[in-house]
């Protein structure tokens, strides 16, 4: 069984084959007013007609220019841990995409305890909360409001906004933009014809580009290289490094070496399932089946029953999914006991020192400017 995401197929097609497609033509037509609205909104912010709200502590935004799949979550986790190690009191702010929650402010974690379920928090904020100790995680649609809550309630002295490149209401001191080194701009089209959230002119707002999955790319995109040089935007390289495989209830941990020669069934509801598949193969496992679901997919009991049934019939050794998918399965305790989760982290290339020094240096420069 394999569920194919039709949107992904369309977004992977740049139209270079010149074949007429009514669906793609319609989607392109719809993308034109969307582009107009985004350009107008950006113009209003650029010319200070719409004002950004500056909070009384530094704000770091981690985002992308395409829909999903660039590795924002591992980047946010790395950034929060790094700042904590250097004496800061960070709080992570997220919209909580995919959550079933309409509250203006939701405390996912107070830094010591996880307060909200993955259904309420959303899979990514819940995963961030599980990965961080001593760092609160808050969700809500208005980051100005969640930011003020973080400062007033938790004494935060630096805010990390997850997936906030397009949300310009809050002023950010550092704007980090993640770009997939293989397909940084998707097929080059705006939503819904392509995966671009904004026109490429928006790239100039970034203070730094982090190119992800550089271990899977051959060279840096020329558009990125030229823009970085012209706008003095710092460029950093990273890869997604698999850490281990852990049982769904976190009771058993396997090293990647233990996957070698194992027969596995796998499934995933993420934006870049091929990267997950490549990681399993690179570990030496034999993939018996690989089921793909849409990004942020909420699994139904029937779907999980089918996955488990197919796994049993296959006589495979392990049933594996991503850790992010595992966050959306927390209510299915019995199913979690039968699966393993692949954990990955952000690994800077060649090391993290250059990015760390860039962020700490910029925060210090902004502090001195404020005090002066």
Query: Which residues, in sequence order, are CB contacts of 41 under 8 Å at separation 6+?
Result: 50, 168
The Cα 166–Cα 216 span in angstroms is 27
Q: Is residue 7 pLDDT above 80, yes or no? A: no
| Per-residue pLDDT tens over the stretch 283-335 | 999 999 999 999 899 999 999 999 999 999 999 999 999 999 999 999 999 99
Tens of pLDDT along 11-64? 777 666 677 788 889 999 999 999 999 999 999 999 999 999 999 999 999 999
CA 257/CA 261 separation, integer angstroms: 9
- For the stretch 228-267, pLDDT in tens is 999 999 999 999 899 999 999 999 999 999 999 999 999 9
Q: Please, which contacts does 282-290 make with residues 24 or more away whose CB atoms are closer than 8 Å?
A: 282/242, 283/242, 283/256, 283/257, 283/259, 284/259, 284/260, 285/259, 285/260, 285/261, 285/318, 286/261, 286/262, 288/263, 288/264, 288/314, 288/316, 289/1, 289/265, 289/314, 289/316, 290/2, 290/265, 290/266
Q: Which helix (H) or strand (E) holds 278?
A: helix 273-282
Q: Calculate ∠ Cα 187-190-191, nearest 5°.
A: 110
Question: Considering the chain, what percentage of its residues have pLDDT values greater than 90?
Answer: 81
Please identify which residue in the block is written with the tokens 């014809």: 193
Instruction: Say what the pLDDT of residue 223 is.
Output: 86
Given a cut of 80, is residue 178 above it in pLDDT? yes
- Right CATH number for 59-239+348-371 from 3.40.50.2000, 3.40.50.300, 3.10.110.10, 2.60.40.10? 3.40.50.300
What are the sequence ranges of the domains in the chain?
59-239+348-371, 249-338
**3 state SS of 181:** coil
The position carrying tokens 């790094």 is: 82
Tell me the three state secondary structure of residue 192.
coil
Beta carbons within 10 angstroms of residue 290's beta carbon: 18
Q: The tokens of 280 are what?
A: 């399993």
Please say if the pLDDT value at position 218 is more than 70. Answer: no
Where residue 238 falls (left for φ over 0; alpha for ψ -120 to 50; beta otherwise) is: beta
For residue 144, the SS3 value is helix
Global pTM reads: 0.93
Q: Which tens digits make up the pLDDT trace of 129-145?
A: 999 999 999 999 999 99
């Amino acid at each position: 069984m394999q569920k194919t995401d039709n949107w992904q197929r369309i977004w992977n097609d740049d139209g270079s084959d010149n074949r007429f497609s009514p669906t793609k033509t319609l989607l392109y037509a719809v993308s034109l007013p969307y582009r107009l609205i985004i350009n107008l909104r950006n113009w209003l912010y650029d010319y200070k007609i719409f004002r950004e709200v500056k909070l009384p502590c530094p704000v770091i935004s981690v985002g992308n220019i395409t829909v999903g799949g660039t590795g924002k979550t591992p980047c946010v986790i790395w950034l929060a841990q790094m700042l904590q190690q250097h004496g800061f009191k960070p709080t992570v702010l997220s919209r909580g995409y995919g959550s079933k929650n309409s509250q203006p402010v939701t405390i996912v974690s107070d830094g010591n305890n996880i307060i909200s379920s993955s259904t309420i928090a959303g899979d990514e904020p819940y995963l961030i909360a599980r990965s961080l100790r001593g760092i609160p995680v808050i969700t809500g649609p208005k980051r100005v409001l969640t930011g003020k809550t973080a400062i007033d309630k938790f004494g935060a002295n630096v805010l990390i906004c997850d997936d906030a490149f397009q949300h310009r209401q809050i002023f950010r001191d550092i704007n980090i933009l993640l770009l997939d080194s293989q397909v940084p701009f998707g097929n080059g089209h705006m939503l819904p014809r392509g995966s671009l959230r904004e026109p490429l002119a928006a790239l100039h707002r970034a203070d730094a580009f982090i190119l992800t999955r550089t271990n899977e790319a051959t060279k840096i995109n020329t558009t990125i290289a030229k823009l970085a040089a012209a706008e003095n935007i710092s460029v950093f390289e990273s890869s997604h490094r698999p850490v281990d495989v852990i049982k769904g209830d976190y009771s058993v941990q396997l090293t990647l070496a233990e996957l070698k020669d194992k027969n596995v069934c796998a499934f995933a509801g993420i934006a870049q399932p091929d990267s997950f598949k490549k990681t399993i193969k690179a570990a030496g496992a034999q993939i018996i089946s690989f089921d793909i679901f849409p990004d942020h997919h909420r699994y139904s009991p029937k779907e999980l029953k089918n996955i488990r049934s197919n796994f049993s019939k296959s006589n495979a050794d392990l049933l594996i999914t991503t850790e992010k998918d595992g966050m959306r399965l927390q209510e299915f305790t019995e199913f979690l006991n039968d699966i393993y989760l692949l954990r990955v982290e952000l690994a800077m290339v060649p090391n993290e020192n250059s990015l760390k020094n860039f962020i700490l240096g910029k925060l210090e420069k902004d502090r001195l400017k404020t005090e002066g």
